[in-house]
A and B are shown apart, each in its own frame.
Chain A
Amino acid sequence: MFKVVAIALNTFKEAVRNKVLYFLLIFALLIMGFSSMLSDLAITASEKLIKDLGLASIDFFGFLIAVFVGVYLVYTEIDKKTVYTIVSKPIDRFQFILGKYFGLLFTIAVNVAVMSIFFFAVLYFRDATLQEKLSKALYPETSPGKFVPVDHLQLAYYAFYAKALFSSLGKAVMTLFGYWSPITAGLLKVILMSGLGLAIITAFAILYSTFSTPTLSAVFTFLTFVIGSLSEDILRYADRLVQKAGSVAQLVGPDKLKYWFAVIAMHITPNLSLFNKRMDAIYGPWDVSTPTIHAVNIDWISVVYGITYVAGVLILASLIFSRRNFK
């Protein structure tokens, strides 16, 4: 266990030195910041737009980090021969793979946390700076129907925004640790489920990097992501083939081949749609206790599925890596 943790920490330190990581992170944060500007164009659906863009950015940039950092991890060790110094020590090869995996996962988790804080801050800031709140702060109602501007209006204006900025950041950080607000309700659960999908993609990135070059690994991981996202469509495709033929037994020729290929593909490839709860955050059923909030329910079977799938892929990666000849 200690060995795995040591490799994981080392992997994390190595990964945070990777400049690609920062570029991706900055890009994600820019997009999320941009979302609040874009939302002004959306007429009525501005909050939805910010949430959609924020959640999709976290998920997609998390995926890019998994690909661009993950595919180099094992390959670089072999390429630069640094793997010799590790395998010559009393460390099992599976421990090496696990260490690399958890190190990368931790890197992604930290990035997702940073993106989430920024995303929450954008939402809180938008809420804190609503026109009516600004008017109330700058033009308080001294007596019924009488609104008087505060002293030093310009200064108060900047102070209002500064206060909104700091309180938004504070609330955003606290949200990660359980602070509840109707503005961000359910979003953390969506991000956690996205994180589970990313854990699967990360496992695949590690798996591919145990036996191929970074470019090929990146292509394979990307294709896994594509197929995983289309898993339910593959099912529909197989069903349509059967519907056309009448039954599975009546399938002939290329259709039979396509059907079985689709069936095998949809069972082997990860079903990433199970971890996509973005729709629930915007349109989910109303929360029983707070009828104005959409409830996001974690599907625990999906969680178990995700964990077992990751374990399976990591075992496969360990098996391949244990038979790998470094010469």
Chain B
Amino acid sequence: MRRIINFILVLALFGAFFGTAIYLQHRALEKVRRQAPFVETWQLAGRSGEVLKLLSLQYDQLVADFLWLRAIQSFGGRGMSNRDWEPLYNMFDTITELDPYFEDAYSFGNMVIGDEAGKQKEALGLINKGMFHLPRQYRLPFEGMYVSHWDMKDNKLARWYGRLASKRADAPDWVPRMTAYIEVQSGEFYLAFNRYVGNLLMALESRDRALEILAIGKAKEAVEKWNASTLTRAYEQYTSATGQLPASIDDLTTMPALQNYEIARISRLIAGTDAVLTLLGADPISADLLNSDTPENHTVLPTAAQRAEAMDFFTKLPRHKKLSDYENDLFHYSMVKQNGLPEDPEGFPYVLNMSQVGNPASDAVPIVTEPKRLEALKDTVTRIRKYIIERKEELGHLPQSLHEAFYTDFNTTEPYGAKWTYDPKTGDFRSTSHPDL
């Protein structure tokens, strides 16, 4: 009996002490719950990685994993601001020192430091470190390209990352395409066109309709921007040399920018590609790929003479087995040295959009193709007619003049350099160059 009582007493004592301890622990936990989800209690500094690597006794990957979990919680718990990006940066730096092949840590670190905290240079530091340790993976240079293009607006840097990403063994097909886009954005039209020629040949080989449309569209876009850049340079040379605005596109043809310059011609690319396809026993590029109803999908077609010249040129070259083997030849064949206006990839003549010529309020290129100038005219006429109707409702009658309609002088130049006409009786607004519109 006494033994039982003793046992019960001991049990009660245990219950009292242990129960108190559990109650106190519960209170402590409740206190934690009231605090912010994560409070950084320690910070890693400059050489933490080196020291931890030594201390981890070869369990460095495991230590990196725990730091990784902590970094995720730290980021998730307190968010990010410019003020406190440094502890997290040090954490990612330490993680990648301990486990230099931890691709996700570089990638996530880049997102946190670059995208969220806006410290792109530091984020690129992490990316660069990862690229060194992971020389075969495209993902990190690709992310470097993304950060420098979208966040830093540094297309030259983006181009550098893009080129590295394209060369990586595991780079998907779209990485070179994306890089070519960056090349265009950074003004490297020569390289962009080169890459797009490769893409077009790959697409034609795959016989994937969607890829073919994309590739031909991108090649045209590269040449279009290249042409626009050359023409803008000629325009600037003209205005600074003469002190006047050009009256016609022909005024620009004598400018140095349009003398003996190298440029790509889509017509030669098509003629050359069709010649190679014929030599390989394949069908030429399908006609509906090159031309459709809308002007944007219209492509300049080579003349019969151009086709004959291309066939003659490629017949003399050593024969390859695949279309893509001709990439270099086709690229060089598409390039010409010429004087005068370049060839528009859609096959339309270049003209001056007079509403943009000498317009200090506009960044738009004053040189466009004829359909685009007509489109600009249609757009202006439609907008102004709509505005006049709105003003009529406001005033209760038609505006008596364009001055009344716009409160100020209506000084928008007509894209063709013609005049605007306005009839206050009928509210009819027209252009003298296209009165039928």
Mark A residues whose CB is within 8 Å of B. Answer: 38, 41-45, 48-49, 52-53, 56, 59-60, 225-226, 229-230, 233, 272-273, 276, 278-279, 282-283
Contacts and interface: CB of A to CB of B under 8 A. Distances in A.
B69 A279 contact: no
Contacts of B108: 43-44
A229 B61 contact: no
A226 B69 contact: no
Given A38-B69, A230-B54, A45 B102 contact: yes
A53 B62 CA distance: 6
A52 B58 contact: no
B29 interface: no
Given A44-B104, A45-B104, A52 B69 contact: no
Contact of B68 (A45, A225, A226, A230): A45
A229 B108 CA distance: 30
B62 A226 contact: no
9 contacts: A41-B69, A42-B68, A43-B72, A44-B108, A45-B65, A53-B62, A230-B54, A279-B101, A283-B101
A52 B61 contact: yes
Contacts of A283: 101
Given A42-B68, A43-B108, A233-B54, A52 B62 contact: yes
B262 to A, nearest CB: 42
Contacts of B57: 225-226, 229-230
Interface of B: 54, 57-59, 61-62, 65, 68-69, 72-73, 101-102, 104-105, 108
Contacts of A56: 59, 61-62
Contacts of A45: 65, 68, 102, 104-105
A276 B59 CA distance: 9
B61 A282 contact: yes
Contacts of B58: 229, 272-273, 276
Chain B contact residues: helix, strand, loop or mixed: helix
A204 to B, nearest CB: 15
A229 B73 CA distance: 31
B88 to A, nearest CB: 15
Nearest to B61: A52
Nearest to B57: A229
B104 A43 contact: yes
A322 to B, nearest CB: 34
B36 to A, nearest CB: 18
A226 B54 CA distance: 10
A60 B62 CA distance: 12
B172 to A, nearest CB: 15
Contacts of A272: 58
A283 B57 CA distance: 19
B73 A42 contact: no
B180 to A, nearest CB: 27
A96 B61 CA distance: 39
Given A60-B59, A225-B57, A52 B101 contact: no
Nearest to A63: B57
B132 to A, nearest CB: 14
Contacts of B104: 43-45, 48
Contacts of B59: 56, 59-60
- The 4 A-B pairs of least Cβ separation, nearest first, read A229-B57, A283-B101, A56-B62, A44-B104
A42 B54 CA distance: 24
B73 A41 contact: yes
Contacts of A225: 57
B72 A52 contact: no
Nearest to A48: B65
Contacts of B73: 41
A230 B68 CA distance: 24
Contacts of A42: 65, 68-69, 72
B64 to A, nearest CB: 8
Contact of A49 (B54, B65, B101): B65
B434 to A, nearest CB: 52
A44 B104 CA distance: 7
Contacts of B101: 279, 282-283
A48 B54 CA distance: 22
Contacts of B105: 45
Nearest to A273: B58
A41 B72 contact: yes
Contact of B61 (A41, A233, A273, A279): A279
A182 to B, nearest CB: 18
Nearest to A54: B62
A41 B67 CA distance: 12
Contacts of B65: 42, 45, 48-49, 52-53
Contacts of A43: 72, 104, 108
A282 B98 CA distance: 14
A233 B56 CA distance: 12
Nearest to B59: A56
Q: Output the residue of A41, A225, A233 with the most chain B CB within 10 A.
A: A41
B329 to A, nearest CB: 33
Contacts of B68: 42, 45, 49
A56 B99 CA distance: 14
A52 B98 CA distance: 13
A188 B105 CA distance: 27
A53 B66 CA distance: 10
Nearest to A232: B58
Nearest to A53: B62
A276 B58 CA distance: 8
A49 B63 CA distance: 10
Q: Output the residue of B62, B72, B108 with the most chain A CB within 10 A.
A: B62
Contacts of A60: 59
A41 B59 CA distance: 20
A278 B61 contact: yes
Contacts of B54: 230, 233
A42 B73 CA distance: 9
A44 B65 CA distance: 12
Contacts of A59: 59
B76 to A, nearest CB: 9
A43 B68 CA distance: 10
A279 to B, nearest CB: 7
A38 B105 CA distance: 17
Given A42-B68, A45-B102, 9 more contacts: A38-B69, A41-B72, A41-B73, A42-B72, A44-B104, A45-B105, A48-B65, A52-B62, A60-B59
B49 to A, nearest CB: 14
B97 to A, nearest CB: 14
A97 to B, nearest CB: 28
A258 to B, nearest CB: 17
Contacts of A278: 61
